[in-house]
Amino acid sequence: MIEVKDINKSFEDKQVLSGISATFYDGKTNLIIGLSGSGKTVLMKSMVGLVTPESGEILYDGRDLLRMDLKQKKELRKEIGMLFQGSALFDSETVLGNVMFPLTMFSTMTAAEMKERAEFCIERVNLKDANHKYPSELSGGMQKRVAIARAIALNPKYLFCDEPNSGLDPKTSILIDELLSDITHEYGITTIINTHDMNSVLGIGENILFVNKGRCGWVGTKDEIYSSGNEALDNFVFATRLFMEVKKVHDMKSAGFKV
Amino acid sequence: MFLRTALHTFGAYCLFIWRVFSTPDKWKVFFKRYIAEINKLGIDSIPLVIIISIFIGVVCTIQMKLNATSPLMPRYTVGYATREIILLEFTSSILCLILAGKVGSNIASEIGTMRVTEQIDALEIMGVNSANFLVLPKIAAMMTFICVLVIFSMATSLGGGYLVCIVSDVVPLSTYIYGIQTSFNEWYVWYALIKSLFFAFVISSVASFFGYYVKGGALEVGKASTNAVVTSSIFILLLDVVLTQIMLQ
């Protein structure tokens, strides 16, 4: 479980996070949603230590990231996997090389064991015959899957995903969402997904944090989101005609109508 | 304002170098990357070094012949002066200025691209000291292989002079060979090698620094690459003055 308590962060004169607090649970897909510029990426980067907040606490099962020394941070980071928006695969390495990288750096496995583990992870994300391809030879969806395989190679306790569906077609987005959800439940990982994709929100959002102007705007599940009563959240989630219709259908069903 | 920015950049550079010179997470991985960098930064530069050195050797020999016209000056002066120019300045300073362009821009753009595509962030998240992992093998490779490049350059430059003596009547070949052997001071070879070690450090570390702290996109990577080449060239020239004053006093 990750707890974020009263985090504040500003860049020059602009306050990006204003006393935000939230809890992200084990074995659940925790989603951070919000408008562009609302501070959700800064929140995620603060949680993984890429940005240092001015105040607050970030507790990984009780261990405060902001009060750790370098050695403790290094140890914690071995428990973290991260999927970046642009996949961030190493261009000079093949798919197998990318997935084996964290194992090479931090595991005590033999070369054969590392290869076996990497191949298992690649298979787990449903990639076939791509082991010896370079990232530039893969499609966006395949790159994301390789990045997921790399992120889970060391059996992380915490998995962070920064906009995993950006740049993907709706079908591939759903596949990636399902994959992340399956992995989360299978390994009991604390997964935190930063997303704009409403399909993800309504599909896999087990614990949703809505960030509004650097503050916690709303917290709930995908089922509670229809009746949040939060205007800013409704404006964000049900902004398109498609999702307005989805909400109407849901409201009618809730009222006992047959749809 | 300028002084403040310069001091801030220098401070950031020192902190960066402090991070670079820490113990690698895995020596096996370090040596693998070290060999790869020797191949990429050093061996790949050999053709450029050979081509430029041959032409400089040829031009130096012709220039010496054209300018050393006094009848009081022995004809072997052409070979002697060519050797001195090549050993004292060309194979260390000028060659390193050329390498600052080739290798420096390569390093800055490679690391800069890794920064803007979040590959460096990915390394940091995994708990890897990215500065050490990416930069130390480059600095080590440049500093060890520069000696090979300098020696290659010395040989091929003098070989260029040799060639021009064969194919034209600049000076008789035997006179040229006599000239390049006359009053040979072995220290000049060491001087060139020692200087080039400093220059290799400047080229690889300055370029890495500019690449590592790129913010933005492809445009900024290009700017960082240009800044890396310009800054390392200036530092090479400044260091050249200081080292020459110290070592040839």
- pLDDT tens digits, B43-83: 999 999 999 999 999 999 999 998 887 888 888 999 999 99
Tell me, yes or no, whether A258 lies in a domain.
Answer: no
Sign of CA dihedral B125, B127, B131, B133: negative
Domain range for A180 is 2-226
Task: Using an 8 Å CB-CB cutoff, list residues of chain A that contact chain B.
Answer: 48-50, 73-78, 80, 82, 84-86, 88-91, 101-102, 104-106, 160
CA B13/CA B206 separation, integer angstroms: 8
- B15 touches A: beta carbon within 8 Å: no
Size of interface A-B (CB pairs under 8 A): 50
CA A2/CA A30 separation, integer angstroms: 10
Tell me, yes or no, whether B105 lies in a domain.
Answer: yes
Interface test with B, best of A76, A90, A160, A192 (most B CBs within 10 A): A90
Please, which residues have CB within 8 angstroms of residue A173's CB and are 6 or more apart in sequence?
A165, A197, A199, A200
Q: What is the CATH number of the domain that holds A18?
A: 3.40.50.300
Tell me, yes or no, whether A67 lies in a domain.
Answer: yes
Q: How many domains are contained in chain A?
A: 1
| β-pair partners for A212 | A215
Query: What distance, in Å, lies between the first and last C-alpha atoms of chain A?
Result: 39
pLDDT in single tens digits along all 249 residues of chain B: 789 998 999 999 999 999 999 999 899 999 999 999 999 999 999 999 999 999 999 999 999 998 887 888 888 999 999 999 999 999 999 999 999 999 999 999 999 999 999 999 999 989 899 999 999 999 999 999 999 999 999 999 999 999 999 998 889 999 999 999 999 999 999 999 999 999 999 999 999 999 999 998 899 999 999 999 999 999 999 999 999 999 987
Tell me, yes or no, whether B168 lies in a domain.
Answer: yes
- Cβ-contact A247, A226 below 8 angstroms: yes
Q: DSSP secondary structure string, B45-112?
A: GHHHHHHHHHHHHHHHHHHHHHH---TTS-TTHHHHHHHHHIIIIIIIIIHHHHHIIIIIHHHHHHHH
Tell me, yes or no, whether A54 lies in a domain.
Answer: yes
Q: Where are the alpha helices (DSSP H) in chain B?
A: 2-20, 27-37, 46-67, 77-85, 95-99, 105-116, 119-126, 130-167, 173-181, 186-212, 218-247
State residue B189's pLDDT score.
95
CA B98/CA B89 separation, integer angstroms: 13
Distance from CA of B188 to the nearest CA of A (A): 40
Q: How many domains are contained in chain B?
A: 1
Per the prediction, chain B carries an average pLDDT of 94
Cα A84 to Cα A89, A156, B133: the distances in Å are 9, 15, 20
Tell me, yes or no, whether B164 lies in a domain.
Answer: yes
**Nearest-Cα residue of chain B relative to residue A90:** B119
What would the two tokens of residue A233 be? 């959240």
Tell me, yes or no, whether B2 lies in a domain.
Answer: no
Tell me, yes or no, whether A244 lies in a domain.
Answer: no
**Inter-chain CB proximity B122 and A82 less than 8 Å:** yes
**Inter-chain CB proximity B29 and A104 less than 8 Å:** yes
- Cβ-contact B53, B157 below 8 angstroms: yes
Tell me, yes or no, whether B227 lies in a domain.
Answer: yes
What would the two tokens of residue B55 be? 């032409």
**Inter-chain CB proximity B125 and A48 less than 8 Å:** yes
CA B164/CA B89 separation, integer angstroms: 21
- B125 touches A: beta carbon within 8 Å: yes
- Cβ-contact A29, A13 below 8 angstroms: no
State residue A259's pLDDT score.
66
Residue among A77, A85, A89 minimizing CB distance to B127: A77
Distance from CA of B229 to the nearest CA of A (A): 24
- Cβ-contact A167, A135 below 8 angstroms: no
**Nearest-Cα residue of chain B relative to residue A108:** B26
Q: Within 10 Å of residue B81's Cβ, how many Cβ atoms?
A: 20
* Helix B130-167 and helix B27-37, axial crossing angle in degrees, nearest 10: 30
Distance from CA of A109 to the nearest CA of B (A): 13
Burial (0-12, 13-18, 19+ Cβ within 10 Å), A18: middle
Tell me, yes or no, whether A247 lies in a domain.
Answer: no
- B89 touches A: beta carbon within 8 Å: no
Q: What is the model's pTM?
A: 0.87
Tell me, yes or no, whether B174 lies in a domain.
Answer: yes
- Cβ-contact A147, A84 below 8 angstroms: yes
**Inter-chain CB proximity B127 and A90 less than 8 Å:** no
CA A117/CA B243 separation, integer angstroms: 53
- B29 touches A: beta carbon within 8 Å: yes
Residue among A85, A90, A104 minimizing CB distance to B119: A90
CA B43/CA B36 separation, integer angstroms: 10
Tell me, yes or no, whether A103 lies in a domain.
Answer: yes
- B35 touches A: beta carbon within 8 Å: no
State residue B228's pLDDT score.
95
**Nearest-Cα residue of chain A relative to residue B123:** A102
CA B81/CA B65 separation, integer angstroms: 10
Three-class DSSP category at A217: strand
Residue where the block lists tokens 């012709």: B62
**Inter-chain CB proximity A91 and B126 less than 8 Å:** no
Residue among B29, B113, B118 minimizing CB distance to A84: B118
**Nearest-Cα residue of chain B relative to residue A162:** B118
Please give the torsion angle defined by the CA atoms of residues B18, B22, B25 and B31, in that order, rounded to the nearest 10 degrees: 110
Tell me, yes or no, whether A32 lies in a domain.
Answer: yes
Domain range for B192 is 27-247
Q: Could you give the strand order of the β-sheet that contains A2-11, starting from the edge strand earlier in sequence?
A: A14-24, A2-11, A55-60, A63-64
Residue among A73, A75, A84 minimizing CB distance to B122: A84
Tell me, yes or no, whether A238 lies in a domain.
Answer: no
| β-pair partners for A59 | A3, A64
Q: Within 10 Å of residue B90's Cβ, how many Cβ atoms?
A: 23
DSSP designation for A54: S
Cα A146 to Cα A88, A134, B128, B201: the distances in Å are 10, 11, 19, 36
Tell me, yes or no, whether B5 lies in a domain.
Answer: no
pLDDT in single tens digits along all 259 residues of chain A: 899 999 999 988 888 999 899 999 998 999 999 888 888 889 999 999 889 999 999 999 999 999 999 889 888 988 999 999 888 999 999 999 999 999 999 888 999 999 999 999 998 888 878 899 999 999 888 899 899 999 999 989 999 999 888 878 888 888 888 888 988 998 889 999 998 888 888 888 888 999 988 888 888 888 888 777 788 888 887 776 766 777 777 777 777 777 6
Distance from CA of A259 to the nearest CA of B (A): 46
Identity of the amino acid at A201? V
